[in-house]
Structure 1
C-alpha cells in the first residue's frame, strides 16, 4: 500500500471512502501523488480544514489499487493531469476536477458545490 503522508487525513481503501461519503454531507478528496501538481492542493486543503469545519478533507494515493473508484469514475473520464479531486455532497459526486487548482478555484468549488 502506498501512503502519501500529507498533513490531511488519508483514505486507504475504497470501503473507507464509501463510509466517509455516506457519513458526511460535504467531502473533498484529492487523489494524487507527492508531486508538484498535487502538493499545492494538499496544502490548500490543510489550510481550509480549519476555516471550513462543515467540509471533511481527505487525500488518497493515486497509485493505490483502492483509488480505482475515483480514477475510473465516470466524472473523471478524459482526465489527464493529477490530482483528480472529487467533491461529494450528500453521498453523491457534486464536482470533479483534474490538475492543479489554486485557492480561488478550490474555494469557488466549495462555495458552489458544498455549501
Structure 2
C-alpha cells in the first residue's frame, strides 16, 4: 500500500531498503510525509530521476514502522525536520540530510558522493 503520492518507487519494508542499497551502487532515499517540507524534495528527486541514471531514487513513509531503520540511523541523530534523506554508496551511508532541500543542495550532494569516475 502506497502512503506517499509520488511518482517515485516507494519502499515499504526494511528488507526492501536493504535489497535496494545492496543491489545498487548509488541510492537516494527520502523518508517523509506528504507535507510542505517533503514535497519539494520529492519534486527534485522526480526531476533528477530522468537525468541521473547512475542513481536509484526512492521514498519511504516516515510513519511506517519499517522506516525505523532510517529514523534511528546514527547519521540521523539530532535531526529535527522532515524529511530525513539518506544517500547510500556501495551499501553504506554516504551522507544524510534533514528538512527541506532544494535542487542545488541535492545535486551538490549527488555530485560529491556519486560522482561518475572518468
Q: TM-score, normalised by structure 2?
A: 0.95
Aligned partner of 1:42 in structure 2 is 42
Q: 1:103 to 1:46 in 2, by over 3 A?
A: same
Asked if the contact 1:83–1:98 (Cα under 8 Å) also holds between the matched residues in 2, the reply is yes
Aligned partner of 2:72 in structure 1 is 72
In structure 1, the gaps of 5 or more residues are none
Q: TM-score, normalised by structure 1?
A: 0.98
Q: How many residues align?
A: 115
Task: Note the alpha carbon deviations across 1:1-23, whole angstroms, 9 max, x for none.
Answer: 66112111100000000000000
CA distance in 2, matches of 1:21, 1:11: 11
- The alignment yields a C-alpha RMSD, in angstroms, of 0.9
2:13 maps to 1:13: yes
Aligned partner of 2:28 in structure 1 is 28
CA distance in 2, matches of 1:101, 1:83: 9
After TM superposition, what 4+ stretches of structure 1 lie above 2 angstroms from structure 2?
Answer: none
Q: Give 1:26 deviation, angstroms.
A: 0.2
CA distance in 1, matches of 2:50, 2:4: 21
